[in-house]
Amino acid sequence: MRDANPKTIYLKDYTVPDYLIDSVALNFSLDEENTSVISRLTLIRNPASQSTTTALVLLGEKLTLLRVVLNDDIELTEQHYQQSEDTLIIHNVPQQHSFVLTIENSINPKANTALEGLYLSNGMLCTQCEAEGFRKITYFLDRPDVMTRFTTTLEGDKDRYPVLLSNGNKMAHGELANNRHWVTWEDPFRKPCYLFALVAGQLACLEDNFTTCSGRQISLQIFAEPYDLDKCGHAMQSLKNAMLWDEQVYGREYDLDLYMIVAVSHFNMGAMENKGLNVFNTKFVLARPDTATDFDYEHIEGVIGHEYFHNWTGNRVTCRDWFQLSLKEGFTVFRDQEFTGDKTSKAVKRIEDVNMLRTRQFAEDAGPMAHPIRPDAYIEINNFYTLTVYEKGAEVVRMLRTLLGAEGFRKGSDLYFERHDGQAVTCDDFVDAMETANGIDLGQFRRWYSQAGTPILTVHQAYNAAAQTLTLTLAQTCPPTPGQRLKAPLLIPVTVGLINTDGTAALCRLTGQTESSQDIILQLTEAQQAFTFEGLAQQPVVSILRGFSAPVKVVLERSLDELAFLLSHDSDTFNRWEAGQQLASQIIFGLVADLQNNRTMQLNPIMIQAFEKVLHHQWPDLSYFSLLLSLPSESYLAEQLPVVDVEAIHTAREFVVRSLAEHFQSVLRKLYQTNHRDESGQFDAGAIGRRRIKNICLGYLSRLNDGEIQQWALQQFNNAKNMTDQIGALSDIVNNPHADQQQCLASFYQQWQSEALVIDKWFALQATCKMPDAFAIVLKLMQHPAFDLTNPNRVRSLIGAFSQGNPLHFHAANGQGYEFLGNQIIALNDINPQVASRMLGALTSWARYDKKRQVLMKAQLERIMTTDTISKDVFEVASKSLNPVNT
């Protein structure tokens, strides 16, 4: 039975720990179903604690307690301690000096389908301890502000567990009786227990090395199952790239002599930055040109970089409590975004990041689970590993860099590391370092950490021809969010450029200033402020929020002609793309209105003209060119409407796609043929760009149901030697009427059935199919032998892809998609609560749909809430979705 009133944890209630753990020696005797854990804790009373308690409260869940010994010689009995489902309270521990507590318990990794703590993944034992998984291994002070030195000894069968890994340096190893062996690892750096890691299994290893800027040799090892070792080369090179980049950009050198990565098939997250032993979802390690797309290659490098960068922004300096999660995640996401931009295309990377933020994080901000990047309360911390904490958190860090400049930001980060190395700190400590290093007051800026919601930036223009001035009046508002009705003004950096009517840049000079520049950062600090530019002989076109300088929604009345002008002339790569997106959005929304009012759809000629200019321009960055040819997604379009009309959005967007394909088919054919070549294994910007261009052209052309184009798609699918081209062609075959659709799907499965990550793509492609029989296909795939409800990757590839990536069919008016998702969440709740709660996201935005759909979505949330065994994870999301609170 569930707890009807699970406890809410509040930031305001934070107190320092009563006790600290100076060191811990862990001994594991490994077994799939009965692992023995002996922990020897050296504890001291925390001098900073104001509590008068003499009891030690340790946290532990799903553990079988066997022994408790105090100071090596006093065996404690039940009269000395109190045990509950999640705590072990030991009464009257020594107060005046350090003491040793030895605890022996056992756990069952095989039964641990939640994949927290120590669990079994495809025959391999591994751990996931962030956020609160360590308490499922042994009793401990499982909180990030208790930093401890770990020594870990692993003992296991030599055949089943030939590789035994943990954090730090390998200190000793040896043989035991009965074909067993042991290895001892010692981590010289204090760390919270969420950074502990253990891996044991039959693994192969790819080895390399890296020489640091100070001349130290670092051994690099990537472990994977033997048949996957040939897919680890890109991850290794990505790791070396990240190590070099962090030295060059942040001056951060790696501190241990060994850095290890392990690829795990069953994993709730993308990866985990455990000190010196990163555990990764295979999705973000394994790549070979024939099995991974260009997108996969880029994201592997980004995630490898992210976890490596955590060594300083998360490990050496960690968070005091889980409310401060964005301290490490927001900063590290910003760092990995910049790393990827430097390695690929800054313009494309920025657009991709913002596109995801505006499509998904803005929806989170507008929903019942809206929260600041530093939340003030939670029931289950796993629910706050969100796009708000990560992606919006990164945007907040980016704004700091924008305000301080690159040099000032580096000064601030250097001071932050210098002050807090080896400490567990807060978001305020990070901002304090930026303030001190730059002699600036960031008091108002701190509101970004405590206020939820997406601010709305309204822009009004007034040009005075006689005075040759342009006045921009900027106003900021923020809608109410759960728990926050009234919002104070934020400090918002708004980067602005001005463009003359001939397309040249107009210099920006504010009244009273002598210097001018091609763009300027306006600092909006009030609810409304006016900024006047002078020396403008003609009224310029305003390029607002260049580079997406703040995570806000812009309200600025623009004509289609003005948007087309910006698409042709804006020198800011983000705003040029954005102008095209807004142009297409306005036209699609007009067509939506036509459908709703039973009017015949006709494509506005200005869309044809704008598209033609893009097609005939010579673009040096072909990947950027491909983004300019891409229309806004159905999800992004839905995010902009007060009431989502699923069918009308889909029909209107498809009409634009087909109309453009019909009008420009000769140009698109030529572009496809020009860029269609075999460059498998080549990942330079030119090769990646050519693949992106040809595949977007094939996507347009496939809407025409032309026999020759269908043959092109089939030939590309059959002849492709890289996954980008093969899956691109298969997508066009699956999403359009194609005679060979079933044959191609069967052929693809036959070819790749032994490659789990490729089969994930196969599932996801069918789950997101727009054809009429999509839902029936999803139901059929649920029964497929390759589907596994205990594997998070497989769940995300089918259930997640359908509910979050197929709005047309998930939101079917009869509610069948909602009932399907409700069934799966109830099933997942007992298997893996984390995954179950994340699947719930597709139902939380029920208030944005029509009344009929609202009733159907709420009915599923209510059904989920009545589940007797409902987890805290699922309860929190479902209850808040049904009862959003505004105070």
Same domain as 403, residue 486: no
Which of 431, 450, 469 corresponds to the end of one domain?
A: 450
Residue 280 structure tokens: 């990764």
* CATH number of the domain residue 518 falls in: 2.60.40.1840
For residue 822, is it within any domain? no
For residue 784, give every residue at least 6 positions away whose Cβ sits within 8 Å of its Cβ, in sequence order, or none: 763
Give the helix, strand, coil percentages of the chain, each rounded to 5.
45, 20, 35
Specify whether 99 is located in the same domain as 159.
Answer: yes
Phi, then psi, of 135 in degrees rounded to 5: -65, -10
Is residue 485 in some structural domain?
Answer: yes
Strands 117-121 vs 124-128: parallel, antiparallel or unpaired: antiparallel
Check whether residue 536 and residue 444 sit in a common domain. no
- Which pLDDT score is estimated for 3? 56
Q: Is 1 domain-assigned?
A: no
Distance CA 558, CA 572 (A): 18
Beta bridge partners of 151: 25, 186
Do the Cβ atoms of 466 and 437 come closer than 8 Å? no
Residue 114 belongs to a domain: yes
Residues 54, 187: one domain? yes
Residue 92 sits in a domain whose CATH number is 2.60.40.1730
Look-up of token digits 């347009």: 700
Task: Return phi, psi of residue 675, to 5°.
Answer: -100, 0
Q: In what order do the strands lie in the sheet with 19-29?
A: 74-75, 64-70, 99-107, 35-45, 19-29, 149-157, 180-186, 169-176
Q: Which residues of the chain have pLDDT under 70?
A: 1-4, 885-887
Shared-domain flag, residues 423 and 472:
no
DSSP letters of 129-143? -TTTTGGGTS-B--S
**Quick one: 13 and 111 in the same domain?**
yes
Sequence-separated (6 or more) residues with CB below 8 Å from residue 176: 155, 182
Indicate if 428 and 540 belong to the same structural domain: no
Do 478 and 344 share a domain, yes or no?
A: no
Q: Same domain for 70 and 22?
A: yes
Domain coverage including residue 332: 317-450
624 part of a folded domain? no
The kind and range of the H/E element at 557 are: none
Domain limit, last residue, from 550, 582, 600: 550
Catalytic (active-site) positions? 307
Counting beta carbons within 10 angstroms of the beta carbon of residue 72, is it exposed (0 to 12), middle (13 to 18) or buried (19 or more)? exposed
**One-letter amino acid identity for 327?**
L
830 within a domain of the structure (yes/no): no
User: What pLDDT sits at residue 886?
Assistant: 47
User: Tokens 């087309």 appear where?
Assistant: 564
- Residue 597 falls inside a structural domain: no
CA distance 543 to 572: 8
* pLDDT in the model for residue 4: 54
Helix (H) / strand (E) element for 301: namely: helix 294-309
Q: Is the residue at 194 inside a domain?
A: yes
| Secondary structure of 586-628 in HEC code, one letter for each residue | HHHHHHHHHHHCCCCCCCCHHHHHHHHHHHHCCCCCHHHHHHH
Tokens, residue 151:
């020594």
User: Do residue 116 and residue 29 come from a single domain?
Assistant: yes
Cα dihedral 106, 108, 109, 115 in deg (nearest 10): -100
Of 800, 796, 795, residue with least CA distance to 810 = 800
DSSP character at residue 539? P
Residues 473 and 420 in one domain: no
For residue 247, the 8-state DSSP code is H
What is the Cα–Cα distance from 798 to 454, expressed in whole angstroms?
30
Phi, psi of 373 (to 5 degrees): -65, -20
How confident is the model over 466-498, as pLDDT tens digits?
Answer: 999 999 999 999 999 999 999 999 999 999 999
Q: What is the CATH number of the domain that holds 326?
A: 1.10.390.10
Tally of domains in the chain: 3
Spell out a b/e string for 794-806, using b for 16 or more CB atoms within 10 Å of the CB, else e.
bbbbbbbbbbbeb
Boundary of a domain, candidates 178, 201, 224: 201
Output the pLDDT for position 883: 87
Alpha carbons 225 and 204: distance in angstroms, whole number = 6
> Do 124 and 90 reside in the same domain of the chain?
yes
